[in-house]
Amino acid sequence: MRVHLGSDHAGFELKTHVAEWLREQGYDVVDHGPVEYDPVDDYPPFVLRVGQAVVNDRGSLAVVIGGSGNGEQIAANKVPGVRAALAWNDETAGLAREHNDANVLSVGARMHSLDEATRLVERFLTTPFSGDERHLRRIQMIGQFESTGELPELPAPPSL
């Protein structure tokens, strides 16, 4: 499986570690940068390229990394077709894939040790989407809104 990576200065060390770990595990890694540490770089140029790449490369997944992971998640989710999830523990990393069919994981390098962050990436990459009808329905609603701007219908109020 191909995994796209991107970060900013705060996530550079973790991205380098994750890229190495992924290659050792047999993943095809595409590093969208940065290629060297720059203490004042900005994450959008790297993260938006990761988002575009994962959408254009069907079947691939992606990991974006920053200090907290919040900004990277926000930026990635601006790319149509991206479903980026911020993970802060094993369960959220797994549920991002299982329930939301997320294609981008966002991780905060300042929030986790290298081992913890690597475990989050592993959980994300190895958890399949459940395909449950309720999850598919919700993802389709989001995709419909993304492409048309039309809000989904509200459910009918419960009968009394």
Q: Assess if residue 157 is contained within a domain.
A: no
Predicted local confidence at residue 40, as pLDDT = 95
| Strands annotated E in 48-159 | 61-66, 84-86, 104-108
Q: Is there a cis peptide before residue 39, judged by omega within 30 degrees of 0?
A: no
Q: Assess if residue 62 is contained within a domain.
A: yes
Tell me the β-bridge partners of 106. 64, 86
Q: Assess if residue 155 is contained within a domain.
A: no
Q: Could you give the C-alpha distances from 105 to 121, 144, 153, 154, in angstroms and in order?
A: 7, 22, 29, 29
CATH of the domain at 121: 3.40.1400.10
Q: Assess if residue 119 is contained within a domain.
A: yes
Containing structural domain, residue 44:
2-148
0.85 exceeded by pTM: yes
Predicted local confidence at residue 160, as pLDDT = 76
Number of domains in the chain: 1
**The residue to which tokens 């911020």 are assigned:** 86
Which of the residues in the chain have pLDDT under 70?
none
Instruction: Report the catalytic residues.
Output: 72, 99
